[in-house]
Amino acid sequence: MRRLRDFFSSRRGAMVFTVTHMFLGAVTLGIALFRGTASHLAFHHETLLGHANFAASVLASDHARAANAIANNNVISAAIMGPRFAVEADNITMDETAAIACPQHHNAHMQFICHSYQRNKPRARGKLAWARAKQSLVWSSLSKLSADLDRVAGLRAVDTIERTIATVDGNVRMRVEDPTSQKVVWGADATREGCTLAQKDALDSPMPGSAFPLLMPNLLGGLPEALVRELPQVICGASKDGAPVRLSGVPSVARKAAESCTALEEQMRCEAARAGAAEDGMRSFAACGGEPGAAVKIPSQNNDEPTFSSEVTPYAHCTVMTPQAGARLALRGAYAMRAGRGGARLTCTFDVDRCHDEKLASVSKDYLDGLGLTSRTSASASAESVRAPSNADWNHSDDFRVCATAFKPLNQTMVAISDGVHALVSFGTSPSAAAMRDAYVFRSCGKWYFPDGPGAFSAVAHDQQPFVAAWSFALVRGDVSGGAP
């Protein structure tokens, strides 16, 4: 003990003691500096993580709010269609009732209905014009608003992000990946579904037929409800199979279609009779109402089909007459002719069902054109329709996903200190802090979606989701990478 005390009291001992303390101090200082650079790196990454998450959250939440606003616009656009369907149906029913009542001059009740129609039709016509104008204005305005709303929401979110982060740290740079800045993500047409929903609401309400007997008695019973079932296809193109509208419940349309088919059947009977009486199988049918100068041709071979006028040919079907076929066809109204001189007798029938189906569609179109209700196509109405996401699988589409990348270079003084400390602590064997230099970018992504899992909205049909304001947002991914954004 005495020798140790004497050693530290000597000059040599004092030097060893001093050097030892300096070494320990250097190690302590290195450890402190190392921990300081590590803390700085952690703080650097945490702040970038916060910036990226903040940006992605703001973008996704603003787009979700825009989606809910678009859904509300769709609900309004669909809701206004129900009253229009009812007003259109009541006006048509008034016209058809008057067409029945007014010609019956000998019937006092019918004349009362006719006078009620003449007195109240101007009011009904004005209400119809107002309903059409209001619906057109609402659809046009809300559709344009919906088309721009999502894009404007994205631009507003980017401006908010840049101003907020610049206030916190002016050295941070941000890059935003937002599909809405490149394309319209709400560009599909949901008009058909909207009008179908409006039709269901209208039929469950007292709107169809509300004009009766307030304005005049109704002679056609359930015609307003029947028309409301057809009008979504007429006004909105809501037919899923593309079949034309057939207004069989409208008396004037059904009567005109039946008269057209009766006239064509009579024309076929006339042509068959005149051609069958000709020895050469050729006879002009201008006298039967066909085109002047044209002729019906009876075939020389038994297995050939005769040729009638262009109006009759689609509905004429001929076969060689046999006792069995004759018995069956006699019940359907058949017309006989001989296939050329000495040929077999042919029996021709008129396809009444096909004629009535086609003429009903044709007459219905002309009737609707006269009312200003020309059937709508998706191409012509793209500027005035309710909106749906352009991508049918939007809940799993990148169209409804945004990403934000935060970038800020590390302080080079801190990097140099970290390199020195690493060298000091490892006695020169540790490499430089390459990872610290490279990892200075953080990317975070968010999405907005309709909840299709368990919950209050899980049962909403996919094509009706653009009519339910329940869109949400969430952060979905984040990663650290190198390089400037």
pLDDT (tens digit, 9 = 90+) per residue, 112-168?
Answer: 999 999 999 999 999 999 999 999 899 888 988 888 899 999 999 999 999 999 898
pLDDT in the model for residue 369: 85
Neighbours of 368 (CB within 10 A): 21
Q: How far apart are CA 289 and CA 296, in angstroms?
A: 12
Confidence of residue 397 (pLDDT cuts 50, 70, 90): confident
Q: Residue 426's pLDDT band (boundaries 50, 70, 90)?
A: low
Q: Which amino acid is at 340?
A: G
Q: For residues 112 and 103, give the distance between their C-alpha atoms in angstroms, rounded to a whole number.
A: 12
Share of the chain above pLDDT 70, in %: 67
Look up residue 347 and give its DSSP letter: E
* The most confident of 1-10, 46-55, 252-261, 369-378, by mean pLDDT: 252-261
Per-residue pLDDT of 260-312, as tens digits, reads 999 888 888 877 776 655 444 444 444 565 554 444 555 544 445 567 778 88
**CA dist., res. 230 & res. 246, Å (int):** 8
Alpha-carbon distance of 49 to 37, in angstroms, equals 18
Q: Report residue 327 as tokens.
A: 């018995």
Q: Which two tokens stand for residue 16?
A: 């060893």
What does the pLDDT look like over 19-74, one tens digit per residue? 565 555 555 555 555 555 556 566 677 788 888 999 999 999 999 999 999 999 99
Q: Is the peptide bond before 466 cis (omega within 30 degrees of 0)?
A: no
Helix (H) or strand (E) holding 473: strand 472-481
pLDDT band at 92 (very low <50, low <70, confident <90, very high): very high
Percent of the chain with pLDDT over 90: 31
How far apart, in whole angstroms, are the C-alpha atoms of residue 282 and residue 278?
A: 6
The domain ranges of the chain are 40-245+377-481, 252-370
- Main-chain phi, psi angles of 7, to 5 degrees: -65, -45
What DSSP character marks residue 315?
A: G
Residue 257 predicted with pLDDT over 50 = yes
Residues with Cβ within 8 Å of residue 327, at least 6 apart in sequence: none
- Strand-pairing partners, residue 402, are 446
Higher-confidence residue: 364 or 479?
Answer: 364
Which residues is 388 bridged to in the sheet? 188
